[in-house]
Amino acid sequence: MGTELVQQSLDESLVKEIAMDIGKEIVSHIRVMYPDAALALGGSGMLSVRNCAHNEIMAALKTTDATEILERIDRRKKQRRANHDFWKA
């Protein structure tokens, strides 16, 4: 059972509001489900999580080309792995 997506053009300010709302929901989820992590992150850490989610959503929506989307996902996967390997203790 797939979900059909309806393509339509949205105002960029509305998309920014959606992205910010998702970022805030992620922060809320961390605060509720992982209160110790939220305390360890503090206000600036939570702000960073919110803004990271917002920025990633906005960047992901810059194209609707399937090939470009898949290439972006692959690049990001490789970059995450490289970052994790670099920062391993």
Residue 51 in contact with residue 25, Cβ under 8 Å?
no
Domain locations along the chain = 12-87
Q: Which pLDDT band, with edges at 50, 70 and 90, does 6 fall under?
A: low
What average pLDDT does the chain have? Answer: 92
DSSP 61: T
pLDDT at 5 over 90: no
CA 64 from chain centre, in angstroms, equals 17
3-state SS record for 1-57:
CCCCCCCCCCCHHHHHHHHHHHHHHHHHHHHHHCHHHHHHHHHHHHHHHHHHHHHHH
pLDDT digits (tens, 9 = 90+) for 21-54: 999 999 999 999 999 999 999 999 999 999 999 9
pLDDT digits (tens, 9 = 90+) for 50-84: 999 999 999 999 888 999 999 999 999 999 999 99
